Amino acid sequence: MPLSDAGRFCDSVCVVQLTDSHIFADAQQRLLGIDTLASLNAVIDLALHERPQIDLVLATGDIAQDASAASYHRFIDAVARMPQACYWIPGNHDDAELMAELGREHNLNRAWVDLGAWRIVLLNSSVPGKVSGTLDSSQLARLDEALESAGPRHVLVCLHHHPVSIGSDWMASLGLENADRLLARLDADTRVRGVLWGHIHQQLEQQRGGIRLLASPSTCVQFAVASSDFATDTQPPGYRWLRLYDDGRIDTAISRLPPGQFLPEPGASGY
C-alpha cells in the first residue's frame, strides 16, 4: 500500500462515509445475527487499507441500536482508529440529545465543516419516537445559514433520511417527511453538488439537475433493493468514499467487504 496518494490528488479532498452501524452496549448482542461492532471494525480496516488519503469521516446516523452511552463510546473507540476528524449526525435509532452531549466531549458535532473548496452541511433529520424523519425549523435555518455564508464553495448536504423515493414500498413512508422543503432550497442553489444519506442500508445513486443524490450501505445489515416488504440482502457491509474536486465534481463509489462476510439471519421480517 502506498504511504499516501495526496500528491496524486492535490485538487481534491477525500471523504469516507460510515453509516447505520447499529452498535450495542452489550458485546454479546447481535443484530439479525451480526456482530455490529465487528462488522464496523472490519469496514474501518477496509477503508484504512484502500484509502491512504482520507481527509474527513462522516457518520450519518443510526450509530447505536440501543441509544445507550456505552454503545456510543464503543463507536467512538472504533472510529478513533482513523486518524482523521469524524463528525456524526443522529438517525431514528439514536438519542440525539445524548449524541450532542457526547459529541461535545469528543469533538464529533458540527453544523458544517469547510474542507478544501467545499462546505459539508450536517443536518439532524431524526424525530424522537419516529422512524421517519423531518427537518425542523432549526435545521432548515441551519441549512439557510450554511448556504448564505458558504461564499463560492461547493456544497454537500448530509442527513440520515432519504429525501427521494428509493423504489422500496415498505420504506416509502419512512423517509424525510418534508423533503419538498429541503429539495426546493437545494434546487435553487447551483453551489449544491450533492446530497448524502444513510437509513436505507443499500447503495443508491441518482441525479437531480446538477445535484448527485447518494445513499450508502450499512456497516452491518443490508436491505434488499426495490423490495415491497422488509427484506435483507446477502451483500456484505461496506462504506462510501467521495472525492470532492475543487471544480465541483464528485467522484464516488461503494467499497464492500468480501462476499459472504457478516450475513444476516435468513427470513428476518424486521428489527
pLDDT at 5: 46
Across the chain, mean pLDDT equals 95
The pLDDT of residue 8 is: 57
Q: What is the pLDDT of residues 180-193, one digit of tens each?
A: 999 999 999 999 99
Query: Taken in order 195, 200, 205, 208, is the CA torsion positive or negative?
Result: negative
For residues 224-252, average pLDDT: 97
User: Across the beta sheet with 112-115, what order do the strands follow?
Assistant: 112-115, 118-122, 154-158, 192-197, 211-215, 204-208
pLDDT number for residue 271: 83
Closest by CA to 134, choosing from 198, 179, 188, is 179
pLDDT at 10: 82
pLDDT value, residue 269:
83
Question: So what's the pLDDT on residue 267?
Answer: 81
Residues of the chain with pLDDT > 90, as a percent, come to: 94
Cα separation, 39 vs 219, in Å, equals: 6
Tens of pLDDT along 97-121? 999 999 999 999 999 999 999 999 9
Average pLDDT score over residue span 130-154 = 98
Predicted confidence at residue 219, as pLDDT, reads 98
pTM, 2 dp = 0.96
Contact 47, 16 (CB under 8 A): yes
Candidate from 6-15, 60-69, 202-211, 239-248 with smallest mean pLDDT: 6-15
Q: Domains in the chain, ordered, with CATH?
A: 11-256 (3.60.21.10)
Residue whose C-alpha is closest to residue 111's, from 92, 88, 79, 82: 88
194 DSSP β-pair partners: 156, 212
Locate cell 461496506: which residue?
238
Above 80 in pLDDT, residue 6? no
Mean pLDDT of the region 191-206:
98
Indicate if the pLDDT at residue 210 is higher than 50.
Answer: yes
pLDDT band at 9 (very low <50, low <70, confident <90, very high): low
* Secondary structure in 3-state letters for 28-92: CCCECCECHHHHHHHHHHHHHHHCCCCCEEEEECCCECCCCHHHHHHHHHHHCCCCCCEEEECCC
| Three cell numbers, residue 93 | 435509532
Rg (Cα) of the chain, in Å, rounded? 17
Q: Which residues, listed in sequence order, are joined to residue 4 by a DSSP beta bridge?
A: none
In sequence order, the β-bridge partners of residue 16 are 57, 241
C-beta separation of 239 from 219 below 8 A: yes
How many other C-beta atoms lie within 10 A of the C-beta of residue 131? 15
Provide the pLDDT for residue 170: 97
CA angle 14, 15, 18 (to 5 degrees): 150
Q: What is the pLDDT of residue 3?
A: 32
The x, y and z cell numbers of residue 172, run together, are: 416509502
pLDDT value at 266 more than 90: no
* Amino acid, res. 156: L
pLDDT tens for 48-102 read 999 999 999 999 999 999 999 999 999 999 999 999 999 999 999 999 999 999 9
Residues 107 and 137 sit within 8 Å (Cβ to Cβ): no
Q: Which residue has the cell 462476499?
A: 259
